[in-house]
């Protein structure tokens, strides 16, 4: 009984808190939207902010409300919408003090739409472009460090994608196409976890093609840089 009474009291307190906002005013509507976000009502906050600019076009809160809606859409996992809103904000307010946040939200929205390595990587490339723009244009941003972290994850993702495609060709006897994919990992994604396996399969592709000088050089490169790797030990058998 006491638990039920407590829950009722809490509910009444929340209702009373929400009713304190002067709804219909620019400040009141903005604070109410933040209140919805604090409660985790992301979809409701997003819908509420949809017409904020029309209702309060000259308010000092109008621009911030755009960012607030972007955040609400993102937290509500409406990533296509948050991507669109962030992109619009950057185009409309390129000199705004918080444009780095909009750039970060654009990149993160694209990042959340990233598919598995074996699927189309359009959003992955888009996210890389957006994170690189964040780091180059706003190197001192508070979001730069996290942006760099996510950028490396994206490179890891693409390295795995190229490796998967290369192995797909290798398993079907298309060794030239396979070697080209493994070479991409070597050229572009050396800092990713896929590099060791890619070097092994690149050497294996050269063996299958009968290009033994290239195979030996690749095995040597693998064993020199990753002497303790399982792929290095396995690669020794390729040349026997």
Percent of the chain with pLDDT over 90: 80
Residue range 25-142, CATH number: 1.25.40.10
Matching CATH topology for 25-142 and 162-240? Answer: yes
CB-CB contact of 223 with 236 (8 Å)? yes
CA distance 172 to 178: 9
Q: Please state the pTM of the whole predicted model.
A: 0.81
Q: What's the pLDDT band for 10 if we cut at 50, 70, 90?
A: very low
Instruction: Answer positive or negative: Cα dihedral of 151, 155, 160, 165.
Output: positive
State pLDDT tens for residues 33-49. 999 999 999 999 999 99
Q: Is the pLDDT of residue 15 over 70?
A: no
Residue range 162-240, CATH number: 1.25.40.10
CA distance 39 to 33: 10
| Mean pLDDT value across the chain | 90
Domain residue spans in the chain? 25-142, 162-240
State pLDDT tens for residues 176-232. 999 999 999 999 999 999 999 999 999 999 999 999 999 999 999 999 999 999 999
Q: Is the pLDDT of residue 59 over 60?
A: yes
Q: Can you give the pLDDT at residue 9?
A: 37
CA distance 158 to 188: 9
* Closest residue by Cα to residue 201 from 177, 191, 188: 177
State pLDDT tens for residues 128-142. 999 999 999 999 999
Q: Can you give the pLDDT at residue 92?
A: 95
């Amino acid at each position: 009984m006491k638990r039920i009474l407590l829950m009722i009291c809490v509910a009444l307190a929340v209702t009373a808190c929400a009713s304190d906002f002067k709804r219909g005013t620019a400040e009141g509507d903005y604070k109410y939207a933040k209140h919805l976000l604090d409660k985790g009502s992301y979809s409701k906050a997003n819908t509420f902010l949809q017409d904020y600019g029309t209702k309060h076009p000259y308010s000092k809160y109008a621009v911030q409300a755009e960012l607030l809606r972007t955040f609400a859409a993102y937290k509500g996992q409406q990533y296509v919408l948050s991507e669109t809103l962030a992109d619009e904000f950057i185009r409309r307010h390129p000199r705004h003090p918080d444009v780095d946040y909009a750039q970060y939200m654009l990149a993160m929205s694209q990042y959340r739409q990233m598919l598995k390595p074996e699927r189309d990587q359009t959003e992955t490339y888009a996210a890389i472009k957006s994170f690189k723009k964040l780091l180059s244009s706003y190197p001192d941003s508070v979001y730069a460090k996290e942006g760099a972290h996510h950028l490396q994850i994206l490179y890891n993702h693409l390295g795995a994608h190229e490796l998967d495609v290369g192995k797909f060709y290798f398993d079907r006897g298309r060794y030239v196409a396979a070697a080209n994919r493994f070479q991409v990992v070597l050229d572009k994604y050396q800092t990713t976890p896929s590099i060791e396996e890619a070097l092994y399969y690149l050497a294996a592709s050269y063996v299958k093609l009968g290009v033994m000088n290239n195979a030996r050089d690749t095995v040597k490169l693998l064993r020199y840089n990753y002497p303790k790797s399982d792929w290095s030990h396995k690669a020794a058998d390729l040349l026997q």
